[in-house]
Structure 1
Amino acid sequence: MDSTSVSLLRRLREPDRDAAWERFVELYAPLIYHWGTRQGLSQTDAADLVQDVLATLVRKLPEFQYDPTKRFRGWLRTITVNRANDLLRRNAVRPHSGQPTDLLKVAAENDSDLFEESQYRAYLVGRMRQLIESEFEPQTWQACWKSVTEDRTAAEIGRELGISANAVRVAKCRVLRRLREELDGLLD
């Protein structure tokens, strides 16, 4: 994955965008699946929903213009909910589909935001942390996260890890810069 400061959304429109799409799928497929199951879809239908939404995004994202005054999550959720409702409607009219007909009511009642803002942000940051961890040496990763999550000085962490306090600060800067690069444009 390149380490430029261009956001993931912008990288999806570049000619060589396979790595960006891979990252997008790793990041958003679990969220789309979650939204689908919350809409009342079975696990199988939620998996189909993920594929349907991603296919829609392949068509729509190349022309998508990110507007910082609007929420990408809202746009993605709207597409997901619409596709989930389509699946629920198809299953409601299909004989022997195994889906109860009152699932449409569940989807309508569940119109509130399925992921509160703080949960959404925590999900994205946590998921992105998982995805970029392999890009760093284990000691660099540990130095950063100990520095971020523990109430200790860089010198204390450095002694524990056998590196200098400056190396702890550099590790923290490198990892957090990479995290910010990957989240650029994704956090509304």
Structure 2
Amino acid sequence: MSSAADSSSDARLTSPTLLRKVQQRDAAAWQLLVDLYGPLIHYWLRQSGLSEHDVADLLQEVFVSVSRSIDRFELRPESSFRSWLWMVSRNQLVSFFRRRAEQTRAAGGTEAWQQLLQVSQSLSDDPDEFTDRQQMSALHTRGLNLVKSEFEQRTWRIFWRVVVDEQSTAAVAEEFGTTANTVRQIKSRVLRRLRQVLGET
């Protein structure tokens, strides 16, 4: 894929573009955001020991909060969109546990109240501490599925052989009749695009 095609494609959704469209209340961009990050947020909420019913309710609350605060989010080099989403989710979890703790305390359950309060206070500021490899892999797979159509089939196959099939750069270069440098550039370009889509750049 040429660099001219890279820079001129309006259909491509880099993370800043996706976020801008979400901020402009674009329904398709919002759906893409929900499809990409909804399963990860669901996982985060489920890891807190909540019932599936509570998770479903809280997931909606998280996305309502995202909708209300997305205008204030700015993608900067020192932060990632996933970290921001974690903080929104974490804040909703803390609020949920505090509400539940207050209800329990009002009903006379001091021990249960302290336990719920401890859970809400133990939530890390770092989303990576609350996310296992399988969930990150699933997020990356969803991201890869989004960016696959942006690359020529040959480019994608080269990337796949090096990254997913874990073949050496030299072996893939020989297999596709190209140089090792070209293989490295392709790998770098696709990974950079994936990081953009995932909001990690």
Q: TM-score range by the shorter chain?
A: 0.5 to 0.7
Q: Does 1:12 align with 2:26?
A: no
Give, in angstroms, the shift of residue 34 of structure 1.
Answer: 2.1
TM-score for the superposition, normalised by structure 1: 0.67
Equivalent-residue separation in structure 1 for 2:89 and 2:118 (angstroms): 17
Give, as a single letter, the amino acid of the residue that structure 2 aligns with 1:105. Answer: Q
1:68 to 70, 77, 81: 77
CA deviation after TM superposition for structure 1 residue 145, in Å: 1.1
SS at match of 2:23: coil
RMSD of aligned Cα (Å): 3.8
**Aligned with 2:167 (options 142, 150, 153):** 150
Q: 1:126-178 CA deviation, whole Å, 9 max, x = no partner?
A: 441243346667665333210333114334332xxxxx537x85965774464
Unaligned ranges ≥5, structure 1: 159-163
| Larger mean Cα displacement after TM superposition, 145-154 or 121-130 | 121-130
Whether the 8 Å CA contact 2:161–2:167 is kept in 1: the answer is yes
Between 37-46 and 111-120, report the one with greater CA deviation: 111-120
Which one scores higher on RCO, CA 8 angstroms, separation ≥ 6? 1
CA contact (8 A) 1:36 1:46 kept: yes
Match for residue 143 of structure 2? 128
Structure 2 portions without partners, runs of 5+: 1-9
8 A Cα contact 1:144 1:175, kept in partner = yes
- Using the TM superposition, give the Cα deviation of residue 54 of structure 1 relative to its aligned residue in structure 2, in angstroms: 0.7
SS in 2 for 1:41: coil
- Per-residue Cα deviation, 1:89-129 (whole angstroms, up to 9, x for no partner): 3444278xxxx653332222344635249968955544412
8 Å contact kept, 2:45–2:93:
yes
Q: How many residues align?
A: 175
Equivalent AA in structure 2 for residue 53 of structure 1: V
> Which residue identity does 1:80 align to in structure 2?
S
1:61 deviation in Å?
A: 0.8
Identify if the C-alpha distance between structure 1 residues 5 and 130 changes in structure 2 by more than 3 Å, giving closer, same or farther.
closer
**CA 1:22/1:81 → structure 2, altered by over 3 Å: closer, same or farther?**
same
Distance 2:80 2:14 in 1: 20
CA distance in 2, matches of 1:59, 1:181: 23
C-alpha distance after superposition, 1:10-68 (max 9, x if no partner): 332246x2232222112221222222123332222122222111111112113433343
Distance 2:171 2:48 in 1: 46
> Which one-letter code corresponds to 1:154 in the other structure?
V
Residues in 1 aligned to 2:155 and 2:121: alpha-carbon distance in whole angstroms = 47
Partner of 1:161: none
- The equivalent of 1:50 in structure 2 is 59
The share of aligned pairs that are identical, in percent, is 34
